[in-house]
Amino acid sequence: MINFKHYQSPLSAKYASEEMSYLFSPYYKYTTWRKLWVALARAQKACGLSISDAQIESLLQHVNDVDIPKAEEAEKIVKHDVMAHIHVYADQCPEAKGIIHLGATSCYVTDNGDLLQIREALNLIRNKTIQVIRQLHAFAAQYADLPCLSYTHFQAAQPTTVGKRACLWLQDFLIDLFEIEHTIQHIHFLGVKGATGTQASFLSLFQGNHEKVKQLEQLIAKQMGFSRLIPISGQTYTRKQDIRIAAVLSSLASSAHKFATDIRLLSHLKEIEEPFAEKQIGSSAMPHKRNPVRSERICGLCRFLLSLNENALYTEATQWLERTLDDSANRRIYIPEIFLTADAILNLLCSVTTGLTVYPKMIEKHLNEEIPFLATEHILMEASRLGKDRQEIHERLRVHSQESSKQIKEGGLPNDLLCRIADDPIIGFTSQQIEELTRAEHFIGRSTEQVHEFLSEEVIPVLDRYKEVKSMSPLIET
Protein backbone atom coordinates (compact mmCIF):
# COMPACT_ATOMS: atom_id res chain seq x y z
CA MET A 1 0.00 0.00 0.00
CA ILE A 2 1.26 3.48 -0.83
CA ASN A 3 2.25 5.57 2.18
CA PHE A 4 1.12 9.08 1.29
CA LYS A 5 3.08 10.56 4.18
CA HIS A 6 6.40 9.52 2.64
CA TYR A 7 8.11 11.09 -0.36
CA GLN A 8 7.74 9.17 -3.59
CA SER A 9 9.87 9.73 -6.64
CA PRO A 10 7.71 11.00 -9.52
CA LEU A 11 9.81 8.78 -11.76
CA SER A 12 8.51 5.54 -10.28
CA ALA A 13 5.15 6.88 -9.11
CA LYS A 14 4.09 8.67 -12.29
CA TYR A 15 6.48 8.78 -15.25
CA ALA A 16 8.40 5.53 -15.73
CA SER A 17 6.87 2.22 -16.80
CA GLU A 18 6.18 -0.68 -14.46
CA GLU A 19 8.72 -2.76 -16.40
CA MET A 20 11.55 -0.31 -15.78
CA SER A 21 10.55 0.33 -12.17
CA TYR A 22 10.58 -3.44 -11.58
CA LEU A 23 14.14 -3.77 -12.90
CA PHE A 24 15.35 -1.36 -10.21
CA SER A 25 13.08 -2.62 -7.45
CA PRO A 26 14.54 -4.07 -4.25
CA TYR A 27 13.00 -7.43 -5.12
CA TYR A 28 14.69 -7.63 -8.53
CA LYS A 29 17.98 -6.46 -7.05
CA TYR A 30 18.08 -8.99 -4.25
CA THR A 31 16.87 -11.94 -6.31
CA THR A 32 19.65 -11.05 -8.75
CA TRP A 33 22.15 -11.22 -5.90
CA ARG A 34 20.88 -14.70 -5.06
CA LYS A 35 21.19 -15.80 -8.69
CA LEU A 36 24.80 -14.64 -8.60
CA TRP A 37 25.44 -16.65 -5.43
CA VAL A 38 23.93 -19.71 -7.14
CA ALA A 39 26.11 -19.14 -10.20
CA LEU A 40 29.19 -18.85 -7.98
CA ALA A 41 28.40 -22.11 -6.18
CA ARG A 42 27.72 -23.96 -9.44
CA ALA A 43 30.95 -22.76 -10.99
CA GLN A 44 32.97 -23.61 -7.88
CA LYS A 45 31.49 -27.11 -7.86
CA ALA A 46 32.31 -27.49 -11.59
CA CYS A 47 35.87 -26.42 -10.84
CA GLY A 48 36.29 -29.08 -8.16
CA LEU A 49 35.31 -27.54 -4.82
CA SER A 50 33.39 -29.73 -2.40
CA ILE A 51 29.89 -28.43 -2.98
CA SER A 52 26.97 -30.82 -3.20
CA ASP A 53 24.04 -30.86 -5.59
CA ALA A 54 21.75 -30.69 -2.56
CA GLN A 55 23.34 -27.42 -1.42
CA ILE A 56 22.91 -25.88 -4.85
CA GLU A 57 19.34 -27.14 -5.07
CA SER A 58 18.58 -25.57 -1.71
CA LEU A 59 19.94 -22.23 -2.91
CA LEU A 60 17.86 -22.49 -6.07
CA GLN A 61 14.65 -23.25 -4.17
CA HIS A 62 14.93 -19.99 -2.24
CA VAL A 63 16.16 -17.63 -4.97
CA ASN A 64 12.81 -15.86 -5.16
CA ASP A 65 11.94 -16.08 -1.44
CA VAL A 66 13.64 -12.82 -0.50
CA ASP A 67 12.50 -11.65 2.92
CA ILE A 68 13.29 -7.95 2.56
CA PRO A 69 11.90 -6.82 5.94
CA LYS A 70 13.99 -9.47 7.71
CA ALA A 71 17.08 -8.38 5.77
CA GLU A 72 16.44 -4.76 6.73
CA GLU A 73 16.24 -5.76 10.40
CA ALA A 74 19.50 -7.70 10.06
CA GLU A 75 21.16 -4.72 8.40
CA LYS A 76 20.33 -2.53 11.39
CA ILE A 77 22.46 -4.91 13.46
CA VAL A 78 25.37 -5.75 11.13
CA LYS A 79 25.41 -2.36 9.31
CA HIS A 80 26.18 -4.12 6.02
CA ASP A 81 23.51 -4.79 3.40
CA VAL A 82 25.25 -7.67 1.63
CA MET A 83 26.03 -9.50 4.87
CA ALA A 84 22.46 -8.95 6.05
CA HIS A 85 21.12 -10.68 2.93
CA ILE A 86 23.68 -13.49 3.27
CA HIS A 87 22.44 -14.17 6.81
CA VAL A 88 18.79 -14.20 5.72
CA TYR A 89 19.56 -16.47 2.75
CA ALA A 90 21.58 -18.80 5.00
CA ASP A 91 18.70 -19.05 7.47
CA GLN A 92 16.41 -20.15 4.65
CA CYS A 93 18.79 -22.85 3.38
CA PRO A 94 21.01 -23.83 6.34
CA GLU A 95 22.54 -26.79 4.50
CA ALA A 96 24.15 -24.31 2.08
CA LYS A 97 25.10 -21.76 4.72
CA GLY A 98 28.80 -22.50 4.50
CA ILE A 99 29.14 -22.02 0.75
CA ILE A 100 27.17 -18.81 0.16
CA HIS A 101 29.46 -16.00 -1.05
CA LEU A 102 32.50 -18.29 -0.74
CA GLY A 103 35.67 -16.33 -1.58
CA ALA A 104 33.75 -13.33 -2.79
CA THR A 105 33.63 -9.69 -1.74
CA SER A 106 30.49 -7.54 -1.68
CA CYS A 107 31.14 -6.15 -5.14
CA TYR A 108 30.70 -9.61 -6.58
CA VAL A 109 26.95 -9.19 -6.09
CA THR A 110 26.62 -5.40 -6.05
CA ASP A 111 28.65 -4.61 -9.19
CA ASN A 112 27.71 -7.69 -11.16
CA GLY A 113 24.12 -7.21 -10.04
CA ASP A 114 24.19 -3.61 -11.26
CA LEU A 115 25.44 -4.79 -14.64
CA LEU A 116 22.63 -7.32 -14.93
CA GLN A 117 20.07 -4.63 -14.14
CA ILE A 118 21.73 -2.22 -16.57
CA ARG A 119 21.77 -4.77 -19.39
CA GLU A 120 18.06 -5.54 -19.01
CA ALA A 121 17.24 -1.85 -18.72
CA LEU A 122 19.21 -1.07 -21.88
CA ASN A 123 17.29 -3.80 -23.72
CA LEU A 124 14.03 -2.13 -22.69
CA ILE A 125 15.37 1.28 -23.75
CA ARG A 126 16.43 -0.19 -27.10
CA ASN A 127 13.00 -1.69 -27.75
CA LYS A 128 11.20 1.55 -26.97
CA THR A 129 13.61 3.47 -29.19
CA ILE A 130 12.71 1.07 -31.99
CA GLN A 131 9.04 1.86 -31.35
CA VAL A 132 9.72 5.59 -31.73
CA ILE A 133 11.63 4.93 -34.97
CA ARG A 134 8.76 2.81 -36.33
CA GLN A 135 6.26 5.56 -35.68
CA LEU A 136 8.40 8.36 -37.06
CA HIS A 137 9.08 6.21 -40.14
CA ALA A 138 5.34 6.00 -40.81
CA PHE A 139 4.93 9.73 -40.24
CA ALA A 140 7.83 10.65 -42.53
CA ALA A 141 6.54 8.38 -45.29
CA GLN A 142 3.03 9.85 -45.05
CA TYR A 143 4.24 13.44 -45.36
CA ALA A 144 7.28 12.92 -47.58
CA ASP A 145 6.06 15.36 -50.23
CA LEU A 146 4.07 17.93 -48.19
CA PRO A 147 5.94 21.24 -48.69
CA CYS A 148 6.48 23.43 -45.64
CA LEU A 149 8.63 26.34 -44.65
CA SER A 150 11.93 25.41 -43.11
CA TYR A 151 13.46 27.63 -40.47
CA THR A 152 17.02 28.64 -39.74
CA HIS A 153 17.43 30.77 -36.60
CA PHE A 154 13.62 30.31 -36.41
CA GLN A 155 13.41 32.63 -39.38
CA ALA A 156 11.69 31.51 -42.58
CA ALA A 157 14.12 29.78 -44.94
CA GLN A 158 14.10 27.69 -48.11
CA PRO A 159 11.14 25.26 -48.02
CA THR A 160 11.49 21.61 -47.18
CA THR A 161 8.80 18.96 -46.59
CA VAL A 162 7.20 17.77 -43.38
CA GLY A 163 8.57 14.28 -44.07
CA LYS A 164 12.09 15.61 -44.58
CA ARG A 165 11.96 17.41 -41.25
CA ALA A 166 10.76 14.18 -39.59
CA CYS A 167 13.79 12.43 -41.07
CA LEU A 168 16.02 14.83 -39.15
CA TRP A 169 14.45 13.49 -35.96
CA LEU A 170 14.59 9.92 -37.24
CA GLN A 171 18.26 10.09 -38.09
CA ASP A 172 19.16 11.21 -34.56
CA PHE A 173 17.17 8.37 -33.00
CA LEU A 174 18.78 5.88 -35.40
CA ILE A 175 22.21 7.03 -34.25
CA ASP A 176 21.05 6.59 -30.64
CA LEU A 177 19.83 3.08 -31.43
CA PHE A 178 23.21 2.13 -32.91
CA GLU A 179 24.96 3.48 -29.80
CA ILE A 180 22.58 1.60 -27.50
CA GLU A 181 23.21 -1.62 -29.45
CA HIS A 182 26.96 -1.13 -29.21
CA THR A 183 26.76 -0.44 -25.47
CA ILE A 184 24.70 -3.57 -24.81
CA GLN A 185 27.14 -5.70 -26.79
CA HIS A 186 30.17 -4.27 -24.98
CA ILE A 187 29.09 -4.42 -21.35
CA HIS A 188 31.92 -6.10 -19.48
CA PHE A 189 31.06 -8.35 -16.54
CA LEU A 190 33.15 -7.81 -13.39
CA GLY A 191 33.35 -11.54 -12.68
CA VAL A 192 35.14 -12.69 -9.53
CA LYS A 193 37.99 -10.33 -8.73
CA GLY A 194 38.10 -10.37 -4.93
CA ALA A 195 38.76 -7.58 -2.45
CA THR A 196 41.33 -5.64 -4.47
CA GLY A 197 40.98 -7.20 -7.91
CA THR A 198 43.83 -9.69 -7.49
CA GLN A 199 41.60 -12.80 -7.14
CA ALA A 200 43.79 -13.83 -4.21
CA SER A 201 40.94 -15.45 -2.24
CA PHE A 202 39.95 -17.61 -5.20
CA LEU A 203 43.55 -18.56 -5.91
CA SER A 204 43.73 -19.73 -2.31
CA LEU A 205 40.52 -21.76 -2.66
CA PHE A 206 42.00 -23.55 -5.68
CA GLN A 207 45.39 -24.04 -4.03
CA GLY A 208 47.30 -21.80 -6.40
CA ASN A 209 45.74 -23.12 -9.61
CA HIS A 210 45.50 -20.05 -11.86
CA GLU A 211 43.66 -21.88 -14.62
CA LYS A 212 40.91 -22.93 -12.20
CA VAL A 213 40.41 -19.30 -11.16
CA LYS A 214 40.15 -18.24 -14.80
CA GLN A 215 37.76 -21.10 -15.53
CA LEU A 216 35.63 -20.16 -12.51
CA GLU A 217 35.19 -16.60 -13.75
CA GLN A 218 34.36 -17.67 -17.29
CA LEU A 219 31.77 -20.19 -16.08
CA ILE A 220 30.00 -17.55 -13.98
CA ALA A 221 30.02 -15.02 -16.81
CA LYS A 222 28.54 -17.61 -19.18
CA GLN A 223 25.79 -18.50 -16.69
CA MET A 224 24.85 -14.84 -16.41
CA GLY A 225 24.89 -14.34 -20.19
CA PHE A 226 28.05 -12.26 -20.60
CA SER A 227 30.70 -12.86 -23.23
CA ARG A 228 33.08 -10.11 -22.08
CA LEU A 229 34.87 -9.78 -18.76
CA ILE A 230 36.68 -6.80 -17.25
CA PRO A 231 40.30 -7.95 -17.54
CA ILE A 232 41.72 -5.61 -14.89
CA SER A 233 39.93 -4.16 -11.90
CA GLY A 234 40.28 -3.03 -8.36
CA GLN A 235 37.46 -4.15 -6.11
CA THR A 236 34.90 -2.66 -8.52
CA TYR A 237 34.59 -2.58 -12.27
CA THR A 238 35.97 0.60 -13.73
CA ARG A 239 33.45 3.41 -13.53
CA LYS A 240 34.44 4.31 -17.08
CA GLN A 241 31.81 1.73 -17.97
CA ASP A 242 29.16 3.81 -16.18
CA ILE A 243 30.29 6.88 -18.12
CA ARG A 244 29.69 5.08 -21.42
CA ILE A 245 26.23 3.95 -20.28
CA ALA A 246 25.25 7.39 -18.99
CA ALA A 247 26.56 8.99 -22.19
CA VAL A 248 24.39 6.89 -24.49
CA LEU A 249 21.29 7.71 -22.45
CA SER A 250 22.23 11.39 -22.38
CA SER A 251 22.65 11.32 -26.15
CA LEU A 252 19.16 9.85 -26.44
CA ALA A 253 17.89 12.64 -24.19
CA SER A 254 19.46 15.29 -26.41
CA SER A 255 17.67 13.82 -29.45
CA ALA A 256 14.38 13.72 -27.55
CA HIS A 257 14.81 17.30 -26.36
CA LYS A 258 15.44 18.52 -29.91
CA PHE A 259 12.39 16.65 -31.20
CA ALA A 260 10.13 17.90 -28.43
CA THR A 261 11.37 21.47 -28.82
CA ASP A 262 10.56 21.32 -32.53
CA ILE A 263 7.05 20.09 -31.75
CA ARG A 264 6.61 22.95 -29.29
CA LEU A 265 7.68 25.48 -31.92
CA LEU A 266 5.46 23.92 -34.57
CA SER A 267 2.59 23.87 -32.10
CA HIS A 268 2.98 27.62 -31.67
CA LEU A 269 2.85 27.96 -35.46
CA LYS A 270 -0.28 25.76 -35.47
CA GLU A 271 1.32 23.49 -38.09
CA ILE A 272 1.78 20.29 -36.06
CA GLU A 273 0.42 19.34 -32.65
CA GLU A 274 1.03 16.50 -30.26
CA PRO A 275 -1.98 14.33 -29.32
CA PHE A 276 -4.66 16.14 -27.36
CA ALA A 277 -7.36 14.12 -25.59
CA GLU A 278 -11.02 14.92 -26.12
CA LYS A 279 -11.56 16.18 -22.57
CA GLN A 280 -8.01 17.32 -21.92
CA ILE A 281 -7.65 20.73 -20.25
CA GLY A 282 -4.85 22.89 -21.58
CA SER A 283 -4.95 25.58 -18.91
CA SER A 284 -6.86 26.10 -15.66
CA ALA A 285 -7.21 29.81 -16.50
CA MET A 286 -7.45 29.92 -20.30
CA PRO A 287 -9.98 27.43 -21.70
CA HIS A 288 -8.76 27.80 -25.30
CA LYS A 289 -5.24 26.58 -24.58
CA ARG A 290 -3.83 23.41 -26.19
CA ASN A 291 -0.47 23.44 -24.48
CA PRO A 292 2.08 20.86 -25.73
CA VAL A 293 2.39 19.37 -22.25
CA ARG A 294 3.90 16.04 -23.29
CA SER A 295 6.62 17.72 -25.32
CA GLU A 296 7.28 20.14 -22.47
CA ARG A 297 7.56 17.24 -20.06
CA ILE A 298 9.99 15.50 -22.42
CA CYS A 299 12.21 18.59 -22.36
CA GLY A 300 12.05 18.83 -18.58
CA LEU A 301 12.95 15.17 -18.08
CA CYS A 302 15.72 15.42 -20.66
CA ARG A 303 17.36 18.28 -18.79
CA PHE A 304 17.32 16.18 -15.63
CA LEU A 305 18.83 13.20 -17.42
CA LEU A 306 21.56 15.34 -18.98
CA SER A 307 22.51 16.58 -15.52
CA LEU A 308 22.94 12.98 -14.30
CA ASN A 309 25.56 12.35 -16.99
CA GLU A 310 27.90 14.66 -15.09
CA ASN A 311 27.54 12.48 -12.00
CA ALA A 312 29.05 9.47 -13.78
CA LEU A 313 32.07 11.54 -14.78
CA TYR A 314 32.67 12.73 -11.22
CA THR A 315 32.28 9.20 -9.87
CA GLU A 316 35.00 7.84 -12.13
CA ALA A 317 37.25 10.81 -11.42
CA THR A 318 37.10 10.35 -7.64
CA GLN A 319 37.82 6.62 -7.36
CA TRP A 320 40.82 6.18 -5.08
CA LEU A 321 43.37 3.51 -5.92
CA GLU A 322 41.65 0.08 -5.75
CA ARG A 323 38.30 1.54 -4.57
CA THR A 324 36.54 3.99 -2.28
CA LEU A 325 33.02 3.75 -0.94
CA ASP A 326 31.86 7.27 -1.73
CA ASP A 327 30.50 6.02 -5.06
CA SER A 328 28.05 3.63 -3.39
CA ALA A 329 25.25 5.89 -2.15
CA ASN A 330 25.72 8.06 -5.21
CA ARG A 331 25.30 5.21 -7.71
CA ARG A 332 22.29 3.79 -5.83
CA ILE A 333 20.52 7.01 -6.76
CA TYR A 334 21.72 8.06 -10.18
CA ILE A 335 21.88 4.69 -11.97
CA PRO A 336 18.20 3.83 -11.36
CA GLU A 337 17.17 7.44 -11.99
CA ILE A 338 19.01 7.75 -15.28
CA PHE A 339 17.19 4.66 -16.57
CA LEU A 340 13.81 5.55 -15.11
CA THR A 341 14.12 9.01 -16.65
CA ALA A 342 15.15 7.64 -20.05
CA ASP A 343 12.21 5.25 -19.87
CA ALA A 344 9.80 8.06 -18.99
CA ILE A 345 11.09 10.11 -21.92
CA LEU A 346 10.58 7.20 -24.31
CA ASN A 347 7.07 6.56 -23.00
CA LEU A 348 6.23 10.15 -23.87
CA LEU A 349 7.97 9.90 -27.24
CA CYS A 350 5.94 6.81 -28.09
CA SER A 351 2.79 8.70 -27.14
CA VAL A 352 3.60 11.86 -29.10
CA THR A 353 4.92 10.21 -32.26
CA THR A 354 1.90 7.96 -32.64
CA GLY A 355 -0.60 10.81 -32.74
CA LEU A 356 0.98 13.87 -34.33
CA THR A 357 -1.66 16.04 -36.00
CA VAL A 358 -0.64 17.96 -39.13
CA TYR A 359 -2.53 21.03 -40.36
CA PRO A 360 -1.78 21.34 -44.11
CA LYS A 361 -3.81 24.56 -44.51
CA MET A 362 -1.77 26.36 -41.85
CA ILE A 363 1.42 25.05 -43.44
CA GLU A 364 0.24 26.33 -46.81
CA LYS A 365 -0.70 29.70 -45.29
CA HIS A 366 2.78 30.19 -43.86
CA LEU A 367 4.33 29.11 -47.14
CA ASN A 368 2.24 31.60 -49.08
CA GLU A 369 3.24 34.38 -46.69
CA GLU A 370 6.96 33.79 -47.21
CA ILE A 371 7.35 32.26 -50.67
CA PRO A 372 7.18 35.64 -52.43
CA PHE A 373 10.40 36.65 -50.68
CA LEU A 374 11.98 33.23 -51.08
CA ALA A 375 11.05 33.19 -54.79
CA THR A 376 12.88 36.38 -55.70
CA GLU A 377 16.09 34.48 -56.47
CA HIS A 378 14.18 32.03 -58.66
CA ILE A 379 12.48 34.93 -60.49
CA LEU A 380 15.85 36.66 -60.90
CA MET A 381 17.41 33.54 -62.41
CA GLU A 382 14.50 33.05 -64.82
CA ALA A 383 14.63 36.70 -65.93
CA SER A 384 18.36 36.43 -66.52
CA ARG A 385 17.86 33.23 -68.49
CA LEU A 386 15.45 35.13 -70.76
CA GLY A 387 18.09 37.76 -71.46
CA LYS A 388 17.11 40.54 -69.07
CA ASP A 389 19.73 42.65 -67.27
CA ARG A 390 20.53 40.76 -64.09
CA GLN A 391 21.59 43.83 -62.07
CA GLU A 392 18.56 45.86 -63.08
CA ILE A 393 16.14 43.03 -62.22
CA HIS A 394 17.93 42.48 -58.91
CA GLU A 395 17.46 46.16 -57.99
CA ARG A 396 13.77 46.10 -58.90
CA LEU A 397 13.21 42.97 -56.81
CA ARG A 398 15.10 44.49 -53.89
CA VAL A 399 13.01 47.65 -53.90
CA HIS A 400 9.72 45.74 -54.16
CA SER A 401 10.77 43.35 -51.38
CA GLN A 402 11.65 46.18 -49.01
CA GLU A 403 8.39 48.01 -49.67
CA SER A 404 6.30 44.88 -49.22
CA SER A 405 8.15 43.95 -46.03
CA LYS A 406 7.58 47.44 -44.64
CA GLN A 407 3.87 47.17 -45.41
CA ILE A 408 3.66 43.82 -43.60
CA LYS A 409 5.61 44.88 -40.50
CA GLU A 410 4.30 48.41 -40.07
CA GLY A 411 0.78 48.05 -41.41
CA GLY A 412 0.00 44.44 -40.61
CA LEU A 413 -1.10 44.02 -44.22
CA PRO A 414 -0.88 40.91 -46.44
CA ASN A 415 2.21 40.19 -48.51
CA ASP A 416 1.68 41.88 -51.90
CA LEU A 417 5.17 41.32 -53.29
CA LEU A 418 4.03 39.08 -56.14
CA CYS A 419 1.45 41.67 -57.24
CA ARG A 420 4.16 44.33 -57.24
CA ILE A 421 6.43 42.11 -59.34
CA ALA A 422 3.62 41.25 -61.79
CA ASP A 423 2.82 44.97 -62.20
CA ASP A 424 6.45 45.91 -62.93
CA PRO A 425 6.96 46.18 -66.72
CA ILE A 426 10.75 46.10 -66.36
CA ILE A 427 10.62 42.63 -64.79
CA GLY A 428 8.03 41.72 -67.40
CA PHE A 429 6.33 38.61 -66.04
CA THR A 430 2.57 38.04 -66.10
CA SER A 431 0.61 36.99 -63.01
CA GLN A 432 0.25 33.52 -64.49
CA GLN A 433 4.00 33.27 -65.05
CA ILE A 434 4.67 34.50 -61.52
CA GLU A 435 2.25 31.93 -60.10
CA GLU A 436 4.05 29.14 -61.97
CA LEU A 437 7.46 30.39 -60.83
CA THR A 438 6.39 30.44 -57.16
CA ARG A 439 4.85 26.98 -56.82
CA ALA A 440 6.14 25.40 -53.62
CA GLU A 441 7.36 22.27 -55.45
CA HIS A 442 10.01 24.39 -57.17
CA PHE A 443 11.69 25.21 -53.86
CA ILE A 444 11.92 21.90 -51.96
CA GLY A 445 14.90 20.54 -53.90
CA ARG A 446 15.34 16.80 -53.42
CA SER A 447 13.42 16.73 -50.12
CA THR A 448 10.87 14.13 -51.23
CA GLU A 449 13.49 11.94 -52.89
CA GLN A 450 15.75 12.21 -49.85
CA VAL A 451 12.94 11.01 -47.60
CA HIS A 452 12.21 7.93 -49.72
CA GLU A 453 15.91 7.11 -50.10
CA PHE A 454 16.61 7.54 -46.40
CA LEU A 455 13.66 5.42 -45.32
CA SER A 456 14.40 2.62 -47.77
CA GLU A 457 18.18 2.55 -47.36
CA GLU A 458 18.65 3.41 -43.69
CA VAL A 459 15.46 2.96 -41.69
CA ILE A 460 13.66 -0.05 -43.17
CA PRO A 461 16.73 -2.37 -42.89
CA VAL A 462 16.92 -1.54 -39.18
CA LEU A 463 13.20 -2.12 -38.66
CA ASP A 464 13.46 -5.41 -40.54
CA ARG A 465 16.30 -6.47 -38.25
CA TYR A 466 14.09 -5.81 -35.25
CA LYS A 467 10.77 -7.01 -36.63
CA GLU A 468 10.56 -9.54 -33.77
CA VAL A 469 10.49 -6.70 -31.23
CA LYS A 470 6.83 -6.37 -30.35
CA SER A 471 5.05 -3.08 -30.87
CA MET A 472 3.90 -1.48 -27.65
CA SER A 473 0.66 0.35 -27.04
CA PRO A 474 1.75 3.97 -26.60
CA LEU A 475 0.83 5.66 -23.36
CA ILE A 476 -1.53 8.60 -24.01
CA GLU A 477 -1.99 9.73 -20.40
CA THR A 478 -0.97 13.28 -19.61
User: What digits encode the pLDDT tens for the residues 159-171?
Assistant: 999 999 999 999 9
User: Is 451 domain-assigned?
Assistant: no
User: What digits encode the pLDDT tens for the residues 305-350?
Assistant: 999 999 999 999 999 998 888 888 889 999 999 999 999 999 999 9
CATH of the domain at 72: 1.10.275.10
Q: What is the pLDDT of residue 14?
A: 86
153 is catalytic: yes
CATH of the domain at 427: 1.10.40.30
Q: What is the pLDDT of residue 285?
A: 52
Do 143 and 58 fall within a single domain?
Answer: no
CA nearest neighbour of 329 among 311, 304, 310, 303: 311
Do 381 and 420 fall within a single domain?
Answer: yes
User: Is 427 domain-assigned?
Assistant: yes
Q: What is the pLDDT of residue 279?
A: 53
Q: How far is CA 124 from CA 31, 130, 426, in A?
A: 19, 10, 65
Do 53 and 131 fall within a single domain?
Answer: no
User: Is 319 domain-assigned?
Assistant: yes
User: What digits encode the pLDDT tens for the residues 223-236?
Assistant: 999 999 999 999 99
CATH of the domain at 142: 1.20.200.10
**What's the predicted TM-score (pTM) here?**
0.89
Catalytic residue among 6, 50, 153, 288: 153
User: Is 248 domain-assigned?
Assistant: yes
CA nearest neighbour of 159 among 146, 169, 170, 168: 146
Catalytic residue among 283, 431, 456, 471: 283
Do 88 and 156 fall within a single domain?
Answer: no
* CA pair distance 295, 298, nearest whole angstrom: 5
CB–CB of 125/179 below 8 Å?
A: no
Q: Residue 62 is part of which domain span?
A: 16-99
Q: What is the pLDDT of residue 2?
A: 61
Nearest 5°: the CA angle 136, 358, 293 is 80
The residue count of the chain comes to 478
Which letter does DSSP use for residue 49 in this model?
-
Collect all residues with Cβ–Cβ distance below 8 Å to 50 and sequence separation of at least 6.
Answer: none
Domain boundary among 99, 117, 137: 99
Q: Is the dihedral angle over the CA atoms 454, 455, 457, 463 positive or is it negative?
A: positive
21 is catalytic: no
Q: What is the pLDDT of residue 478?
A: 46
Do 31 and 158 fall within a single domain?
Answer: no
CA nearest neighbour of 238 among 144, 321, 329: 321
Do 111 and 184 fall within a single domain?
Answer: yes
* CA pair distance 31, 124, nearest whole angstrom: 19
User: Is 306 domain-assigned?
Assistant: yes
User: What digits encode the pLDDT tens for the residues 416-470?
Assistant: 888 888 888 888 888 888 888 888 888 898 999 999 999 999 999 999 999 888 8
Do 180 and 314 fall within a single domain?
Answer: yes
Task: Identify the segments of the chain with pLDDT beneath 50.
Answer: 281, 284, 476, 478
* CA pair distance 194, 200, nearest whole angstrom: 7
